Structure 1
Amino acid sequence: MTDHLQTDFVRDVLSAAGAEVRFGGSADIRDGVADSRQAKPGDLFAAFRGEHLDGNEFVADALERGATAVVCERADALSPPGRTVAIAPDTRAAMAALAQAWRRACGVTVVGITGTVGKTSAKELTAATLAGRFRTHRSKENFNSYEGLPLALMSLRRDHEVSVLEMAMDRRGEIAQLCGIAEPRIGAVLNIGVTHAEKVGTIDDIAREKLSLVRSLPPDGIALLNADDPRVAAARESLACRVITFGTGSEADLRAVAVRDLGLEGVGFEVRFGGQCAAARSPLPGVHTLAAALTALGVCLALGLSLSEGAALLGRARPPGRMVPRRGRGGWLILDDRYNASPASMEGALRFLAAREGRRIAFLGGMAELGVYSESEHRRIGRVAAECCDLLVASGELARPLADEAELAGAQVVWFASKEEAAAWLAPKLRSGDVVLVKASRGQAFETVIPRLEEGA
């Protein structure tokens, strides 16, 4: 029997759930996609209805590109030979049912990771650490939502031992739904911040949603809580499962001390747990990423490894990077951290920049989904930027309060309406020895300006 999800399984689960299944024969499914342009043989295409696009309009395109299976709400054309098409009343509900059934069939231990900032880094580092000892599956990219997490589970195999899944939210109740699908036995909460306030409400509302991950754990589960975040740490008393707290303070069960910034080589520290002590190094740059390293070590402990075993695995881990160093043509260094931005991650990246040698330049966009906190948080980050960089280049209306506040604090600041204008202004001015931090919320697509900055004049 193959270890991959098969179309037979899709047929059986979704037929039982009320879908009409046009079975095209037995075939392996190796991944899930929601963009028909990415579909290829071995993929299951899920036709979600979105705010602007209806995936059901692209079923034929996905099949033409080779998708092995499709889950949709309507399929007007005949299915090509050898393809399986499941027509369900609701694609989201069908995918949730399929993902839950497949996870159960695989019998894998699920690790769920959430938090306002750093969850993707923690997920990647945890998965990379565990991969040195276990057959490890992880959610890819930003497959962390009610639509994305089921897609991530399509690549799960029966021979996997651990699955590390990122859990995010865009509305109330979403993390609880993700836990219902994935059924984690280990859950980690990194921090609580104001990102998502625009859609969820107050910071207390956000805390309630994030902590629903650890409240969903079974009695034999293990919760990992950041002791350095009071809102996270406070959940300890209300949980029925075992709890391991982590952090830098004396109250943490898993504690990092003697922390050293190793620049682009990562972070060195000594870690203590009970009577155990070990030297450790995280490959992630910046002291602000320490919570991700402690999460990875905490998961190792939860899976029965010793502290020294976990530290050794962490030191060998090579996760795909966030703050990716890129060399410009003229000898300058670009710190490519443009994947996403929240107040905490923005401040951490700026503090990291401040510790670098050379002319320190911050090329920043805005931070999305802050709701009523948006202006105050952008202004606060503006003051941090004034402390940390020699030149601030900001772009977009969202970042305007940030630029204004940095200028009031005495920084050298230029602001542009678009990132393209900003990059065109900055690129010719870069010189050998400069260090340029590039950071913005994901939706601003700052990846498009990286080549211009690498090229320079």
Structure 2
Amino acid sequence: MSDKYMKNLTFANIAKACEGTYIGDETLLDTTITGAVIDSRQVKEGYLFIPIKGERVDGHKFIPTVFEQGAAIVLSEHELTDPAGPYVLVESTTDAMKKLAAFYRKSLDIKVVGITGSVGKTSTKEMISSVLEQKYSVHKTAGNFNNEIGLPLTIFGIRESHQVAVLEMGISDFGEMHRLSTMSCPDVMVITNIGYCHLEFLGDRDGVLKAKTECFEHMMPDAVAVLNADDDKLATVQTVNGKPAIYYGKESASGVHKSVYTTNIENLGFDGMKAHFVTPEGEFDAHIHIPGEHNVYNAMAAAAVGLQLGLTIAEIKSGIEKAETIAGRTNFIKTHGMTVIDDCYNANPVSMKSSIEVLSHAKGRTIAVLGDMGELGSDEKKLHHEVGEAVGENHIHTLFAAGELAKEYAAGAAEKSSDVDIHYFEDRETMTQELLSYVKEGDTILVKASHFMEFPKVVEALSK
């Protein structure tokens, strides 16, 4: 079957996988769909349309339209009067989509690499994909399609020509990883770290560890877990489903045996990082062209995964050195004689401190433009204060902070250094106006906050 069609996703199998009732022309039951989407604007000839009930719009209202666009079949939570094509009646289209994604993944002859962790999921996904692309045809999570809606859509994008899928999995509460891993069934499961994320729902880091490691329940029988040994919580995970965990980390850190470790780490500032990698299959030096020490960890994870999937040392080195940044993730923008570090997709205490450390290597005036971090629970003020302290400790020249909790950035920075030029604002809009009149040629400006703060608008204003 060509890549035009989705293997095994006939109308009959869709109804069976979704535990729904097929309603329509029985002679079409062996028809195979060519794609599956939830956005009616993306429907093409032969697609399955999955209408989702959102807060503002119910996708069911687009069913007549998608048939006109060429949809072959749709799901529906209620009986349709005079439909223009066949449909599968289900109790919940969202649940049906997850069941269908799980069925489809299991029907494919493909290796799946799952990635989760509190910080660095996306950058690790990009690094691992870059390495695996040296040998395989790789399908990877696009953008932030890593939740219970995005993951099934990512899985639906896999075609028979793909040999490996690299799937990012993000959660904020207990039970979510259970459902995500039920769909993805990883052959290799990477956990980058256990940090201070979503504490509003998970309580503390032990809660984060418990929630993240739900993924182990649904790994493939011969699957392996690749874990960061330098994370004190992950270092306690000795075995996964009866098999030893595969650890990576710095040579000098923690007492856990590491399959992949690094020595001679050299920080080249904005030119990236250099490190010597030691693996069971040999050693090599690599230049990571993305700034920040955390990218050495991403590269180690990618090396460990590459070895599990049969890559040579030369292929792993090549993939590490070819890895690039993506928009919103430590992306460097040259504009008006300034450098803007666009890292405003999301934020938590660990990623904030990493980005501030990257900024500290810039020449000229350094400006940290920081907004509130969300979902940090009862310690939110303390965690914001610690990020402010990092601004002072890294000798950042100027701090622009916006948001209710961001006043703690200002307090922390002032506590650690009297040299930081601090500007605090209650809202992003006022801060942006002041920032535009403050910046000048030669400045390097870090822009970072949690997604709800809408800091991409700050990057846009600086780039105009």
TM-score (norm 2): 0.89
Change (3 A) 1:92 1:356: same
Residue 29 of structure 1 is matched in structure 2 by 34
1:13 is matched by which residue type in structure 2? N
Select 2:126's aligned residue among 124, 127, 142: 124
Once the 2 structures are TM-superposed, how far is the Cα of residue 43 of structure 1 from its aligned partner?
5.8
Would you say the 8 A contact 1:15–1:21 is kept in 2?
no
* Matched ranges for 1:38-437 at <5 A: 44-50=48-54, 54-59=58-63, 70-74=74-78, 79-80=83-84, 85-237=87-239, 239-250=241-252, 251-274=257-280, 276-318=282-324, 320-321=326-327, 322-329=329-336, 331-388=337-394, 389-409=396-416, 410=418, 411-437=420-446
SS at match of 1:225: strand
Once the 2 structures are TM-superposed, how far is the Cα of residue 426 of structure 1 from its aligned partner?
0.7
Once the 2 structures are TM-superposed, how far is the Cα of residue 374 of structure 1 from its aligned partner?
1.2
Moved more, 189-198 or 42-51: 42-51
Partner Cα distance (2:36, 2:271) in 1: 33
Change (3 A) 1:313 1:124: closer
Residue 440 of structure 1 is matched in structure 2 by 449
Partner Cα distance (1:447, 1:63) in 2: 36
Once the 2 structures are TM-superposed, how far is the Cα of residue 49 of structure 1 from its aligned partner?
3.3
Q: Deviations over 1:154-203 (max 9, x none)?
A: 11101211000011112211112111111111001110012111122222
Change (3 A) 1:292 1:46: farther
1:427 is matched by which residue type in structure 2? L
Q: Percent identical across equivalent pairs?
A: 31
Once the 2 structures are TM-superposed, how far is the Cα of residue 74 of structure 1 from its aligned partner?
3.6
SS at match of 1:301: helix
Once the 2 structures are TM-superposed, how far is the Cα of residue 308 of structure 1 from its aligned partner?
3.4
Long gaps (5+) in structure 1: none
Moved more, 204-213 or 397-406: 397-406
Change (3 A) 1:59 1:446: farther
Once the 2 structures are TM-superposed, how far is the Cα of residue 51 of structure 1 from its aligned partner?
5.2
Would you say the 8 A contact 2:259–2:304 is kept in 1?
no
Q: Deviations over 1:399-446 (max 9, x none)?
A: 232223323433321122222221111112211110000111122221
Alignment length (residue pairs): 451
Partner Cα distance (1:418, 1:63) in 2: 45
Would you say the 8 A contact 1:28–1:42 is kept in 2?
yes
Once the 2 structures are TM-superposed, how far is the Cα of residue 75 of structure 1 from its aligned partner?
6.9
Change (3 A) 1:421 1:40: farther
2:449 is matched by which residue type in structure 1? A
Partner Cα distance (2:172, 2:69) in 1: 31
Partner Cα distance (1:365, 1:49) in 2: 32
Residue 460 of structure 2 is matched in structure 1 by 451
Residue 2 of structure 1 is matched in structure 2 by 2
Once the 2 structures are TM-superposed, how far is the Cα of residue 48 of structure 1 from its aligned partner?
2.8
1:182 is matched by which residue type in structure 2? S
1:128 is matched by which residue type in structure 2? S
Moved more, 85-94 or 370-379: 85-94
SS at match of 1:132: coil
Partner Cα distance (2:70, 2:456) in 1: 29
1:3 is matched by which residue type in structure 2? D
Would you say the 8 A contact 2:216–2:240 is kept in 1?
no
Q: Deviations over 1:196-228 (max 9, x none)?
A: 111222221110111222454344211101011
Moved more, 317-326 or 150-159: 317-326
SS at match of 1:350: helix
Residue 13 of structure 1 is matched in structure 2 by 13
2:348 is matched by which residue type in structure 1? S
Partner Cα distance (1:452, 1:229) in 2: 38
Would you say the 8 A contact 2:11–2:33 is kept in 1?
no
1:394 is matched by which residue type in structure 2? A
The runs of 4+ residues in structure 1 deviating greater than 6 Å are: none
Q: Provide the aligned C-alpha RMSD in A.
A: 2.6
Would you say the 8 A contact 1:219–1:240 is kept in 2?
no
Change (3 A) 1:219 1:35: closer
SS at match of 2:318: helix
Partner Cα distance (2:258, 2:94) in 1: 39
Partner Cα distance (1:357, 1:340) in 2: 25
TM-score (norm 1): 0.90
1:46 is matched by which residue type in structure 2? I
Long gaps (5+) in structure 2: none
Would you say the 8 A contact 2:267–2:274 is kept in 1?
yes
Would you say the 8 A contact 2:135–2:311 is kept in 1?
no
Partner Cα distance (1:421, 1:171) in 2: 34
Once the 2 structures are TM-superposed, how far is the Cα of residue 5 of structure 1 from its aligned partner?
4.3
Once the 2 structures are TM-superposed, how far is the Cα of residue 11 of structure 1 from its aligned partner?
1.8
Partner Cα distance (1:245, 1:320) in 2: 27
